[in-house]
């Protein structure tokens, strides 16, 4: 992991799942601030002071070993516990809890206490109870009440609670829910589509993306298509009067929901069209011009950007992957798009707004500085590619030898899953396609 801002590093160290970096959510209550407790401003100052201390101490640390990372994790948790020692989480208001959410996120002990509080609140058959159940599940408990996440759909407060900023997180929690269990709840999932009307609140409309993923998994193809039409109509109607940030959000949603992933035509289908504007290896050569040229190879697509700390932090793992598999069997492509700047790690960032050739030159320099041993491609499509349903980077997708999408939505740190997918595809090509090194080879400290 290379030096970057501390916050992604701390979350990467304290959260069990490297694909998720959510702060600890505040419980769904409406209690007033406790008399004698620190004010919201004082709590925010407390968090900021600790953050700055940790930032000063660790921001220049490069490539920590596994033991060093464990030591950092232990220290961060201990410092967070000390900062929370005088607070009773069960009595704090929403705003107070929101102020200290980074501290709760950094402390396993605090997260456990918060889960217990939320699980109790989740017993209320209300929208607030549903929100508490989702928050508890986000912190790692199973469904907020001792069950699987799919049981969140059975909560009496689902219909109202899901149309909130916290409640909408349920859709991400259900991404891996068993389809058989979702199918049992198809009627209530389909019924939620009636909330998408031309005058629906923005919070309801914003749940459309996650909701359609759930509908695709739970409903028949015909019913999910009808639901998609309803959701898109609501977005279009809302866009007419929306302004500023809301309008941009709706435009992005429309593109995403018209993409292959939202149509259920991504995994198992040919790679969505992507136009390569620039393809280079670190030596300046162009190994291919179009993704169609890579048929016959397994292809790992790593969507990234220079300003993305977790993306750059995963480089050692990507480099090890490149070392471990033969280049004639596996192609690794770092996919990005024009960003208007290159956030160099070993030199000053360079602004390139309006000068794409300058950005390409700087990107090649970035690759050389960072020892990028795989191919990098700039596509005319945004790195947050709507066809792949990308909402955050890094985002890894794997193509099979026929150019079809085999796996999506992985993080470079998901080494076991990535290697297993590669090995499955290569095994179909015969013994010659086995890795150049054992698949369990790992880069030290990476």
Render pLDDT for 285-324 as a digit per residue (tens, 0 to 9). 999 999 999 999 999 999 999 999 999 999 999 999 999 9
Helix (H, G, I), strand (E, B) or coil at 433: helix
- Cβ-based neighbour number of residue 84 at 10 Å: 20
Give the CATH class of 276-433: alpha beta
Cβ–Cβ under 8 Å, residues 179 and 142: no
Q: Return the pLDDT at 294.
A: 97
What is d(CA 423, CA 429) in angstroms, rounded to the nearest whole number?
Answer: 10
What is d(CA 1, CA 58) in angstroms, rounded to the nearest whole number?
Answer: 12
Rounded (5°) CA angle 131-175-233: 80
pLDDT tens track for 324-378: 999 999 999 999 999 999 999 999 999 999 999 999 999 999 999 999 999 999 9
Adjacent-strand bridge partners of 300: 332, 398
Cβ–Cβ under 8 Å, residues 224 and 264: yes
Write the CA distances from 270 to 1, 260, 308, 401, integer angstroms: 33, 10, 28, 11
Please report how the helices 40-58 and 6-14 are oriented relative to each other, as an axis angle in degrees rounded to 10. 90
Q: Give the chain's residues under pLDDT 70.
A: 1-36, 62-63, 141-147, 429-446
Cis preceding-peptide flag for 394 (omega within 30 of 0): yes
Q: Return the pLDDT at 15.
A: 38
What is d(CA 393, CA 71) in angstroms, rounded to the nearest whole number?
Answer: 27
Cβ–Cβ under 8 Å, residues 213 and 228: no
**Which helix (DSSP H) or strand (DSSP E) does residue 430 occupy?**
none
How do the domains of the chain map onto residue ranges? 1-121, 276-433
What is d(CA 17, CA 188) in angstroms, rounded to the nearest whole number?
Answer: 30
Stated pTM of the model: 0.66
- Cβ-based neighbour number of residue 88 at 10 Å: 11
**Dihedral angle at the C-alpha atoms of 225, 230, 236, 238, nearest 10 degrees?**
-150
Q: Return the pLDDT at 36.
A: 65
Cβ–Cβ under 8 Å, residues 412 and 314: yes
What is d(CA 182, CA 177) in angstroms, rounded to the nearest whole number?
Answer: 7
Give which of 156, 169, 179, 180 is closest to 209, Cα–Cα: 169
* Per-residue exposure over 276-295, b if at least 16 CB sit within 10 Å of its own CB, e if not: bebbbebeeeeeeeebeebe
**Which helix (DSSP H) or strand (DSSP E) does residue 95 occupy?**
helix 94-99
Q: State phi, psi for 57 to the nearest 5 degrees.
A: -80, -35
């Amino acid at each position: 992991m290379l030096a970057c801002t501390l916050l992604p590093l701390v979350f990467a160290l304290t959260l069990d799942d490297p694909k998720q970096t959510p702060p600890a959510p505040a419980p769904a209550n409406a209690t007033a601030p406790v008399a004698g407790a620190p004010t919201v401003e004082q709590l925010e100052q407390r968090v900021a002071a600790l953050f700055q201390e940790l930032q000063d101490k660790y921001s220049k640390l490069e490539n920590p070993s596994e033991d060093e990372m464990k030591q950092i994790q232990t220290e961060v948790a201990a410092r967070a516990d000390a900062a929370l020692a005088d607070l009773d989480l069960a009595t704090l208001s929403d705003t107070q809890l929101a102020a200290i959410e980074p501290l709760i996120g950094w402390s396993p002990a605090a997260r456990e206490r918060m889960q217990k509080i939320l699980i109790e609140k989740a017993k209320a058959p209300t929208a607030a109870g549903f929100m508490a159940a989702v928050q508890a599940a986000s912190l790692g408990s199973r469904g907020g009440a001792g069950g699987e996440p799919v049981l969140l759909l059975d909560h009496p407060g689902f219909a109202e609670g899901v149309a909130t900023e916290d409640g909408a997180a349920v859709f991400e929690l259900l991404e891996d829910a068993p389809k058989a269990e979702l199918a049992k709840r198809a009627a209530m999932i389909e019924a939620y589509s009636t909330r998408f009307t031309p005058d629906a609140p923005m919070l309801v409309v914003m749940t459309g993306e996650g909701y359609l993923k759930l509908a695709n998994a739970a409903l028949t193809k015909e019913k999910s298509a009808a639901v998609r039409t309803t959701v898109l109509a609501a977005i279009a109607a809302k866009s007419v009067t929306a302004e500023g940030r809301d309008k941009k959000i709706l435009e992005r949603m429309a593109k995403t929901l018209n993409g292959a992933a939202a149509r259920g035509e991504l995994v198992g289908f040919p790679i969505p069209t992507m136009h390569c504007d620039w393809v280079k290896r670190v030596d300046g050569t162009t190994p291919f011009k179009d993704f169609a040229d890579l048929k016959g190879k397994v292809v790992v697509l790593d969507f990234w950007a220079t300003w993305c700390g977790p993306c750059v932090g995963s480089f050692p793992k990507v480099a090890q992957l490149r070392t471990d598999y033969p280049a004639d069997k596996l192609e690794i492509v770092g996919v990005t798009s024009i960003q208007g700047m290159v956030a160099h790690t070993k030199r000053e960032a360079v602004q390139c707004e309006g000068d794409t050739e300058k950005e390409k030159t700087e990107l090649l320099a970035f690759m050389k500085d960072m020892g990028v041993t795989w191919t990098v491609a700039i596509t005319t499509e945004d790195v947050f590619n709507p066809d792949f349903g990308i909402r955050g980077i890094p985002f890894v997708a794997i193509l099979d030898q026929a150019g079809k999408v085999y796996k999506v939505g992985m993080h470079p740190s998901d080494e076991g899953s990535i290697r297993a997918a590669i090995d499955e595809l290569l095994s179909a090509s015969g013994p010659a396609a086995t890795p150049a090194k054992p698949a369990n080879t790992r880069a030290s400290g990476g």
